[in-house]
Amino acid sequence: MQQQPKTSYDGISQAFHWLTALLVVTAFILGPEHFGRLMKQGIDPASRIDIVWHESLGIVVLVLTVLRLVWVTLRASTPQFPMAPWMRVTGQLVHMVLWALLLALPVTALLALGSEDIPLTLLGGIRVEPIPLVKASGIGALTDWGDVHKLLGDAIVWLAGLHAAAAIYHHLVLQDDVLKSMLPRRDSH
């Protein structure tokens, strides 16, 4: 008996995908403009709820991304759809870059905070004092990590937007099940 081809991602993969998307967009919206300038003016980051939420969501995204990577290695196969080779390669490349950005964004944020002696401020009044290892290692002086973080934040939002546009294109123009594969299934009885 031949097994039916898989047409949908599992519920855990779907939950990870949509939760990550929601958290990244929310963190982007809450990302304070001119963060470095605010800190140089002596503003305590804990006094700005947008900073506290942004940093807390960033840590959650990092943890979620690591858990997703573990799940990706453990889960069963994913759905495969017929498509032009260039589309498949482009899709794989976009996914790899999105994964890299999901990991690089929190790292660059921690490098920015450590290089400027700024504490990480999280919800619940949690405050992680500056990371002296960053400044002492010389990594902090390599570049303005805050600028790198901002650039990568803009990049992930643009790339995620293109990713969403491609899924909508698959749904509306190609009329395949690529978009549906990441949506919860509705069983009709």
For 76, counting Cβ atoms within 10 Å of its Cβ (0-12 exposed, 13-18 middle, 19+ buried), the class is exposed
Q: Does residue 89 have a pLDDT over 50?
A: yes
pLDDT of 131:
74
Q: What would the two tokens of residue 45 be?
A: 């980051």
Tell me what the pLDDT averaged over the chain comes to: 88
Of the listed ranges 46-50, 87-91, 98-102, 152-156, the one predicted with least confidence: 46-50
Fold of the domain built from segment(s) 11-182: Fumarate Reductase Cytochrome B subunit (1.20.950)
Residue 128's DSSP bridge partners are: 120
pLDDT tens-place string over residues 5-14: 677 889 999 9
Q: What is the pLDDT of residues 72-83, one digit of tens each?
A: 999 888 888 888
Helices (H), the chain: 11-30, 35-40, 49-74, 85-115, 132-137, 145-169
- Looking at per-residue pLDDT, the higher value among 36 and 74 belongs to 74
For the chain, what are the domain ranges? 11-182
Ramachandran angles phi, psi of 121, nearest 5°: -115, 125
Split at pLDDT 50, 70, 90, the class of 128 is: confident
Rg over alpha carbons for the chain, rounded to the nearest Å, is: 20
Q: What is the DSSP letter of 173?
A: I
Do 156 and 163 contact (CB within 8 A), yes or no?
Answer: no
Q: Tell me what the mean pLDDT of segment 25-31 comes to.
A: 92
Residues 6+ apart with CB under 8 A from 47: none
In this prediction, residue 129 carries a pLDDT of 82
Biggest CA–CA distance in the chain, Å, is: 70
> Distance between CA 122 and CA 176 in Å, rounded?
42
Task: Flag whether pLDDT at 90 surpasses 80.
Answer: yes
The Cα-based distances of 41 to 20, 73, 84, 93 in angstroms read 33, 45, 53, 41
pLDDT band at 188 (very low <50, low <70, confident <90, very high): very low
Q: For 59, what's the count of Cα atoms within 13 Å in the CB-facing half-sphere?
A: 13
CB of 88 within 8 A of CB of 95? no
Residues 28, 153 contacting (CB under 8 angstroms): yes
**pTM (2 decimals)?**
0.87
